[in-house]
Amino acid sequence: METNGIEKKLTGLEGDPDLQFLLQGGDLLKVRSRSWKKTRFLQLQEDCKTMYRKSDKLFKSHQTFPIDDISSVRIGRQSEGLKKNTEEQLESRCFSIVFKSRRKNLDLVASSHEEAKQWVRGLEKLLSNVNNLSRQETREHWIFNCLKKADKDKDEKLNLSEVKRFLRLINIEMDDSYAEVLFQNCDKSKSGYLSGQEIKELYDLLSQRVEIDVIYQEYAKTTGFMSAHNLVEFLMKEQRERASLADAHSIIDKYEPDEQVKQKKLLSKDGFLMYMQCPEIMILNQEHKELYQDMQQPLSHYFISSSHNTYLLEDQLKGPSSTEAYIRALMKSCRCVELDCWDGSDDEPVIYHGYTLTSKILFKDAIQAIKEYAFKTSNYPVILSLENHCSVEQQAVMARHLSSMLGSALVTAPLGDGMPTNFPSPEELKGKFLIKGKRLNKLEANFTSEAAGDDTDVTEEEESSDETDEEQKKKSKLKLAKELSDMVIYCKSVHFNGFEDAQKNLSFYEMSSFKEGKAMKLAKESANAYIHHNVEKLSRVYPAGSRTDSSNYNPVPLWNAGCQIVALNFQTSCSEMDINQGRFLVNGKSGYILKPAFMRDPSSEFDPNTPTPGDWRQPKTLHVMVISAQQLPKVNQKKSSIVDPLVKVEIYGVPDDMAVKETTAIENNGFNPSWNESFQFGVSVPELALVRFVIEDYDSASSNEFVAQYTLPFTSLKMGYRNMPLLNRNGDLLPSAGLFVHIMVLNA
């Protein structure tokens, strides 16, 4: 098992000085608080996939963490911890390692500016390489690491018990007698252990993809190889793609590993296997990954990825508030974030969940974090939804911070000349921030000679409370600072008094927020009126105050009613959040998805709850064959635990289209389970439908456990044999896992 060579080759950084630096490792100061700062030795392991952290505690085991777990590395005092607990003159020596999971940042100080830069450079190179590994390399890497873990005595040979250990590590529970037969077959030298070529043979036997062999055999009609003509036939017949001989030749050039076969313009079984794991075979239409929709329509014509209580990392009663929570949401291309603002000490407003024990952060720190991360994933506008409980004095401070920190990126007057009659488009608002909040007067007042009224109060609306409309009306008046009021241009918060009233009395920029219960009722009972309302006005929906655990509601019925800003708790991992990420997976992850044409038409007769004929009805039949999965993660880290996977296929959309079907469970095999089960679904309004594939670990005694999932819009499905990546509970990619399916969509 030649370790070093393959590892560096796989990282593509052989001989790189920054990689050498990481492999040597060095001492860093780990910062937890003003008083807790300790030296830690950090070093990249030989596998180039794991960082080792040495602790100076006597009995504490040394820790390692995979490079895969790192979400980003930030140079300077960018994290809350470093800002609070280190001095400004250390700026250039500080850096943070940010993790994908709920794990706390690692805040570190290097001994010099140069050294900090080298740590960050090295880690960033490593990250980008890990992210660019092909499926094939990732798979090899993963198997390779498991082999190394299984080789207990590090003699680069595997005896029978080490082989069994290796099988468990790759999530295969194999009958002892079967494992022995496999071992005997590979132990050609009859030495009682496997080494070198024999280990490779074991790997080959295990990584055989029988299902892909079957497809290959069907099309490899020329002397046991696939010719370019055979490949064209496969692409057109199975994959439903327009393909020419030139396309086939370029696939052979790119994926055929055997030079002699390539010269003959043929594709071997290995070449076909390589091709079947490439990005073009993904279930998601690759064109939809990029920005492909018209971004020149008014803002109200888009679904907008939106977060509720964005400042929370956990629950609403006692969880921590953190600027990190804003960064995480914005990096997931969330385009509407919420700020609950209260009076703080020293005249500095703070953000937290009022009347609870959640911790507080400074308003200005939140704005600084938002400014830095708003446009890293998407350039399209970010809406700052202000939940304002501050005194007039501290509101003026908020306005000053917004103005000085966001500068010209903050929209403080309508675009163009004169009073607008409609929203600008996301395209016109690129790189801009919009404030959503209360306003003292109508926007029209800016364009008339009358002085704006000197009225400084507006009715305060409490989001978190569960009171009736009558109680709302009796609310205390909230005094509003003119400086803050004037910053509200396109998103003025107003109370909702019914669709008729809104049509008669509200301007396009006056928007209402609806508690989920009220919104769900409207979406059920007056969906068509709601759709009309949402053609020219924005609606924001938020979770009920009773969801103290920060759980989420199903966003689908509200999207079906045309609501744009359906705010979810981004900090909570759940199926509702998976659906949200699936909805916004496409269109360049811009956080904006154009609503279907029948939801942008002021005279639309569409009602999601009653299937009447119209442009929206384009009935399709979806055929899904769930074929196999590869390298599913363990649900329990217990050595002996192996998953019993089953796959659920779920359709979300108008009520008529909602459906779930599931396969049987495969016992004790997470490495290469194979189902070959087919399902059929009727989808009547494809433009609103989403498809979610969920893998669960079957348990006869209790409820099944979540293993992985992938959700995408129905209209972005590719047909034929397709791979899909799999995401974990937090929505992060599982590096080597995958699901293999066959998809066919026919007009019903």
Q: What does the angle CA 568 – CA 569 – CA 573 come to, to the nearest 5 degrees? A: 110
Q: Is 58 exposed, middle or buried (0-12, 13-18, 19+ CB in 10 A)?
A: exposed
The number of residues in the chain equals 748
Q: Which amino acid is present at 196? A: G
**Distance between CA 29 and CA 191 in Å, rounded?**
49
Catalytic residue among 301, 308, 401, 533: 308
The DSSP annotation for 214-263 comes to HHHHHH--BTTBEEHHHHHHHHHHTS-----HHHHHHHHHHH---HHHHH
Q: Does 308 qualify as catalytic in the annotation?
A: yes
Q: Rounded to whole angstroms, how far apart are CA atoms 96 and 689?
A: 40
Pairing of strands 457-459, 477-479: antiparallel
| DSSP type of residue 184 | H
Distance CA 651, CA 679 (A): 12
End-to-end CA distance of the chain: 55
Pair of tokens at residue 402? 């917004």
Other C-beta atoms lying within 10 Å of the C-beta of residue 201: 16
Quick one: which H or E segment has residue 660? strand 659-662
Q: Single out the catalytic residue among 141, 288, 301, 353.
A: 353
DSSP E strand boundaries for 445-595: 457-459, 477-479, 491-493, 510-515, 539-542, 565-568, 592-594
Which long-range contacts (C-beta less than 8 Å, at least 24 apart) are formed by 236-245? 238/720, 238/721, 238/742, 239/718, 239/719, 239/720, 239/721, 240/719, 240/720, 241/720
H/E run at residue 300? none
**Whether 493 contacts 509, CB under 8 Å:** no
50 - beta bridge partners? Answer: 66
- Please, which residues have CB within 8 angstroms of residue 244's CB and are 6 or more apart in sequence? 232
Collapsing DSSP to helix, strand or coil, 293 comes out as coil
The pair of structure tokens assigned to 269 is: 């079984």
Sign for the pseudo-dihedral over CA of 343, 345, 346, 351: negative
Radius of gyration over alpha carbons of the chain, in Å?
29
Q: Which residue ranges are tagged as binding site for Ca(2+)? A: 309, 338, 340, 387, 642, 644, 668, 697-699
**Cα three-residue angle 36-38-39, rounded to 5 degrees:** 165
Q: What is the 3-state secondary structure (H, E, C) of 488-532?
A: CCCEEECCCCCHHHHHHHCCCCEEEEEEHHHHHHHHHHCHHHHHH
- Helix %, strand %, coil % of the chain (to 5): 35, 25, 40
Give the pair of three-digit tokens for residue 288.
Answer: 């939809």
Residues that constitute the known binding site for substrate = 30-57, 436, 438, 513, 540
For residue 563 the two structure tokens come to: 């609501």
Residues 6 or more apart whose CB falls under 8 angstroms from that of 579 comprise 554, 555, 556, 652, 690, 692, 711
* Among 515, 330, 340, 567, residue whose Cα is nearest residue 437: 340
Q: Give catalytic residues, as residue numbers.
A: 308, 353
